[in-house]
Amino acid sequence: MEARLHDEAGVTVFGQASERLAQTSNFAIAGFRAETQVMAMDLAGIAVSSGAACSSGKVKRSIVLGAMGGEDALADSAIRISFGWDTAPTDFDAVAEAWIAAARRAVLRPA
């Protein structure tokens, strides 16, 4: 999923080169507001959150994403998704499809 989002949309995956939880992904593309992404994914039946887990419920920018090298515009566009024990490969595909479709409507040129 992360590779597809990077290849097709140029997203930045936070912590990609670090040891991290395998079931959680935090990514962003500058200019695609996190709030818009959360709404678009909700309409597609996919639950995501904005920012980093440690900033959940807060309105201000995540200092953690900044510390991980995220510029302000990128941190403002960050969303996070976690997968469970019963996640199937098709679930990763569905997330990528829904996110790319939303990004095309908002910030990317159509394929």
In tens, the pLDDT along 34-44 reads 999 999 999 99
Instruction: Look up residue 1 and give its amino acid.
Output: M
pLDDT computed for residue 62 by the predictor: 58
* Mean pLDDT for the chain overall: 83
User: Pick the residue with more confidence: 51 or 1?
Assistant: 1
Residue type, 70: G
Among 40, 32, 57, 48, which Cα is nearest to 82's? 48
Per CATH, domain 2-106 is 3.90.1150.10: yes
The catalytic residues are 54
**How is residue 49 annotated by DSSP?**
E
Taking the C-alpha atoms of residue 53 and residue 55, their distance in angstroms, rounded to an integer, is 5
pTM attached to this predicted model: 0.81
Q: Please, where are the H alpha helices in the chain?
A: 2-9, 34-43, 63-67, 72-75, 89-106
Digit-coded pLDDT (tens) for 78-109: 899 999 999 999 999 999 999 999 999 988 87
User: Residue 79 forms beta bridges with which residues?
Assistant: 27, 50
